[in-house]
Amino acid sequence: MIHYLEAARQFQCNTVNMTYALAITDGGYLAHIYWGKRLPVTDLTSLLRLDENPFTPSVNPRDRACFFDTTPFEYPCSGTGDYREAAFGIEDIDGYRACDLTYVCHRIYDGKPVLDGLPHTFSDISTPMQTLELLLEDQPTGLQVTLSYTVFSDSDALVRSVKICNMGTAPCTLTRVLSCSVDLDEDRFDMLTLYGSWARERQVNRLPIRHGKQRIDSLRGESSHQYSPFFALLSPQTTESCGDAYGFTLIYSGNFFAQAELTQHCSTRAQIGINPEDFAWVLQPGEMFQAPEAVMVYSAKGLGGMSRCFHTLFHRHLIRSEWKDKARPVLINNWEATYFHFDLEKLKKLAAEAAALGIELFVLDDGWFGHRDSDNSSLGDWTPDEKKLPGGLKPLADAVTGLGMQFGLWLEPEMVSPDSDLFRAHTDWAIQIPHRPMTLCREQYVLDFSREEVRDAIWTQIKAILDSVPVSYIKWDMNRQLTELGSAALPASRQKELWHRYMLGVYDLMERLVTTYPELLLENCSGGGARFDAGMLYYSPQIWSSDNTDSRDRLRIQYGASLFMPPSAMGAHVSICPNHATGRNTPFETRGFVAMNGTFGYELDVTQLSHEEKEMIRHQIQQYHQYSHLVRNGLQYRLGNPFVCSDCAAQMHTGWDAWIYVSEDQSEALFTYVQITAEANMRSRKIPLAGLAPDAVYLYTINNRQQEQLGAVLMQCGIRVPNLWGDMKSIQLILTKK
Ligand code: GLA
């Protein structure tokens, strides 16, 4: 998979459909040669433009300023003449800021490195994978930089990471350590990014790149609602099913930076990593800094090919939970049913009704601890509110388990309310800058998780709950962004480390949770979907996608999320209508189909439902159990696009959306069609399917008529769906190979 061509001093990483090549130039610099469709293993160094004239007339072809500013560097540094965005920056003990990384040695080995303290992709014995490690050095400071590249035999992805060791004699400050940078020799790309807001996460933005820098980032301490740590570079002609798609994401949940820069000579520098803004890390002699992993995916099969590559890679090599291949219990969460207003009796009634309908897991959301009757108190005091729950959690948990259901619990471990015993006892445990007012957000502060004693104190409380009550599921929430970055435990020179140290602290506590209780189903959440990122997948096989449960909005949110995250990880619930976020009414059946395009559960007061709705719940649960393996382990093909009109490609609210999950052996598929807006006197629609075996005959029932058709016909000509009466009406059907 990874080859070293000694004469050419070239490295070539080949996967089934992809090649990534780089070389060592004269002078020992690492230059990028090629990334794209697979090439035979061959000398590609003639593609490097290392002998061209500098931009100012010069007889000296080694004009260093020009060399630095045009060479496609594999890991560009700042301060020596490359004026494009750097991947690596330092400030040495004397305040100087230039650095210059040159090749020392390399090794190629089977397997991949483990990243201590950070989420990372992992190997398994059944999947061959190889890693190339390149050691580079900045001689004056003695900094050694290891670039790692891992390729997998079952994926067209490249996983990169960067490790810095200070082998010098003086401390040195790292001012930027991006996880990947690649100089593509083309200029005609569209950049696709995901933007949004609370309850409106992961909206799709696709624009041609222009000369200059196009960036998305987060400086909020979380990957954020506003931008996802993901982008794709696409040929202008790339569609859902064909054309070049280069996808980038970061296995990290904190501040990130992602950028495409179109340069003077029309090459495109694409980068992703920890946000360099407000970042610095002091490295003492002998110390090491590890940057998070970046994942780069290439597909010639359009956006769909790129997404499926991310899905499969994450499913096989990032999600660790025992739950990833198991049917998740259908849950009911009491949040939208009760908000903070509940007592034991009310919850028991909800649980009893839910159990009678076949729901398998009862999740108690916010409001069960301290004296939390609204969002203005008690975070940090994880002891049950005896007023609402006399005798604590146990009577409720016993009642729930007695009904044959599992019991789940909401926690927000990283937070503290000003009105809490924890804050009163340890005011300095909250992130803050002395003598500066602390900004409140949702009436809460953020605990300084860079400090071990703070994490330990929270862990002790969590453990006490988990050891005394049968909790099978935890919803780990995080409901505010970080401000006034200051830690009482860090010296002035290290305050800029806090963003990243905070993230490492969060990961440490999640690691304790999932390793101490490996059978626990952990769902991450951050005010809806502010931490819907690959970093979280390492700990939790599912993540709450958005506080917006409106099915029409969910079509967009879940479409955007599916561009890089597996649908099996998308927390999605059926909720009540009119929807609490939008006031919209959507048929119950469609709410079920849209939630089934994710982890599936309920978030409503089941005691208030009509007989028909209850019957529908029973039916939906049965369908979920019949088909959820396809969502978990099948391949997803998006057939529509809720951001553009799938009939005429106009940027308006669309007529319809559709998707299909196909089993790996192509013997079974689950097709879902949602007619977003109804129109009078429309003919039936033909929706071309995807992913089926062309020569196989598939059986399916539509309009109560059993039909059979060749896969090739269903894919080329489409499946015919009737014009439905009403907005947001839908059809879901199973296709089975005859
Ligand atoms: C966040 C979550 C919600 C709910 C509330 C509780 O907003 O996203 O699902 O848990 O917190 O306060």
Q: What is the pLDDT of residue 422?
A: 98
Q: Global pTM?
A: 0.97
Tens digits of per-residue pLDDT, 460-481?
999 999 999 999 999 999 999 9
Q: How close is the Cα of 576 to the center of ligand 1, in Å?
A: 16
Q: Taking CB atoms and a 6 Å cutoff, what residues make up the pocket around ligand 1?
A: 335, 365-366, 410, 477, 479, 525, 527-528, 544, 547
Q: Is the pLDDT of residue 144 over 60?
A: yes
Q: How close is the Cα of 197 to the center of ligand 1, in Å?
A: 15
- Cα dihedral across residues 497, 498, 499, 503: positive or negative: positive
Angle CA(106)–CA(8)–CA(268) in degrees, nearest 5?
80
Q: What is the pLDDT of residue 703?
A: 87
Please report the atom of ligand 1 found closest to the CA of residue 339. Answer: 6
Query: From the CB of residue 453, how many other CB atoms can be counted at a distance below 10 Å?
Result: 10
Tens digits of per-residue pLDDT, 204-228?
999 999 999 999 999 999 999 999 9
Helix (H) or strand (E) holding 591: helix 588-596
Q: What is the pLDDT of residue 588?
A: 98
Average pLDDT over residues 101-127: 93
Common-topology check for domains 2-317 and 637-737: no
Q: What is the pLDDT of residue 367?
A: 97
Q: What is the pLDDT of residue 278?
A: 98
- Distances in Å between the Cα of 383 and the Cα atoms of 408, 466, 655 are 15, 12, 49
Three-class SS of residue 592?
helix
- Distances in Å between the Cα of 72 and the Cα atoms of 86, 149, 190, 265, 548 are 12, 17, 20, 11, 43
Angle CA(194)–CA(596)–CA(510) in degrees, nearest 5?
65
CA distance 297 to 311: 11
By C-alpha distance, which of 452, 461, 469 is closest to 370? 461
Q: Is the pLDDT of residue 62 over 70?
A: no
Q: Is the pLDDT of residue 9 over 60?
A: yes
Contact 266, 224 (CB under 8 A): no
Q: What is the pLDDT of residue 686?
A: 95
Q: To test the ligand 1 pocket, which listed residue (372, 479, 524, 545) has its Cβ within 8 A of the most ligand atoms? A: 479
Tens digits of per-residue pLDDT, 239-249?
999 999 999 99
Q: How close is the Cα of 549 to the center of ligand 1, in Å?
A: 12
Q: Is the pLDDT of residue 647 over 70?
A: no
Tens digits of per-residue pLDDT, 663-712?
999 999 999 999 999 988 888 999 999 999 999 999 999 989 999 999 99
Q: How close is the Cα of 335 to the center of ligand 1, in Å?
A: 7
Average pLDDT over residues 107-120: 95
Residues with catalytic roles: 477, 547
* Residue extents of the structural domains in the chain: 2-317, 331-633, 637-737
CATH number 2.70.98.60 is the correct assignment for the domain at 2-317: yes
Categorize the per-residue pLDDT at 72 as very low, low, confident or very high, splitting at 50, 70 and 90. Answer: very high
Question: Which residue has the least CA distance to atom 6 on ligand 1?
Answer: 366
In the block, tokens 């905070």 appear at 502
Q: Which CATH number fits domain 331-633: 3.40.640.10, 3.40.50.620, 3.30.10.20, 3.20.20.70?
A: 3.20.20.70
- Give the relative orientation of helices 588-596 and 551-562 as an angle to the nearest 10 degrees: 10
CA distance 55 to 320: 51
Question: Which residue has the least CA distance to atom 1 on ligand 1?
Answer: 527
CA distance 279 to 177: 9
Q: Is the pLDDT of residue 64 over 70?
A: no
By C-alpha distance, which of 307, 224, 229 is closest to 546? 224
- Cα dihedral across residues 394, 606, 521, 252: positive or negative: negative
CATH number 2.60.40.1180 is the correct assignment for the domain at 637-737: yes
